[in-house]
Amino acid sequence: MVKGLYTAWTAMVNEQHRMDVATNNLANSNTTGFKSEGSSQQTFKDQLALKIKDVTEPGTYAKRVGKIVPGVKTGEDYTNWEEGPMKTTENTWDLAISGKGFFAIEYTNKNINVAKEDTETEIMYTRDGNFTVDAKGNLVTHDGDFVLNAGGAHITVDPTKDAQINVKGEIIQDNQVVGKIGLYDFEDYNYLSKYGENLYRAVDGNTQIEATGRINQGFLEQSNVSVVDQMVNIINIQRHYEAASTMIQTCDNTLEIAVTQVGKL
């Protein structure tokens, strides 16, 4: 009976985690370039099967399950890298990537102590192409971070002139190429760590490859979150959570009877 309490508790913890993931997806349904996330679970049956197949123990010894608790173990979160729908903006500096690839930006940490003179910057990658040009002609994000070219340098244009950007990312002004927007891609997206809403940093072990995507001027890639699917998912999570909560109440009532009434007989 006590194990039943732990089983229901693991279910409630797992459903709470699933709810956190689903509500975060829903909150970012209108965030440009956002990629939805999901969560995985490992059941007691899966954990037991792995333990039985464990060859690290001598074959003549009985396999011990150890501290595995009957119930649900929260697994790893994963990202849905499916391309989101394109939204037409007709803005010169709004860019969207069709296919695989990321823009690179020189991200500046805005949370550092304002008294510090040094700035903490690092390279981040994003699918959010909502860019603009500052007064100095630098191509930047709306947060003021520099957009980088293929060589990792800042991109500077003439802010007073019209510009066209072709699918290769080449910026053309007065019929001349004045810059090229860098497009980056990676062999394995598991080596990308999410930062904030739609930024990613490359972690140790990543391998860069040639990007095959195309850059589209005057478009923005919307979030790939399906609001309807997330709402249905949230309803299912609530029902599972309530069922686990009811199980705990039932186990608690049964234990109370066992202690207060059965013990008197």
**Percent of the chain predicted with pLDDT > 90:** 67
Q: Is the pLDDT of residue 58 over 80?
A: no
User: Residue 206 to residues 69, 92, 187: CA-CA distances in angstroms?
Assistant: 35, 32, 7
Using CA atoms, how far apart are residues 161 and 145, in angstroms rounded to an integer?
A: 22
Domain map of the chain by residue range?
Answer: 2-77+227-264, 86-221
Asked whether the whole model's pTM tops 0.75, one would answer yes
Q: For all residues of the chain together, what is the average pLDDT?
A: 87
Label the pairing between strands 192-195 and 199-202: antiparallel
Do residues 218 and 94 touch, judged by C-beta distance below 8 A?
yes
Q: Which two tokens stand for residue 124?
A: 């981040």
Using CA atoms, how far apart are residues 218 and 95, in angstroms rounded to an integer?
A: 6
Position 81 confidence tier, pLDDT thresholds 50, 70, 90 = very high
Q: What is the Cα Rg of the chain in Å?
A: 26
Do residues 128 and 33 touch, judged by C-beta distance below 8 A?
yes
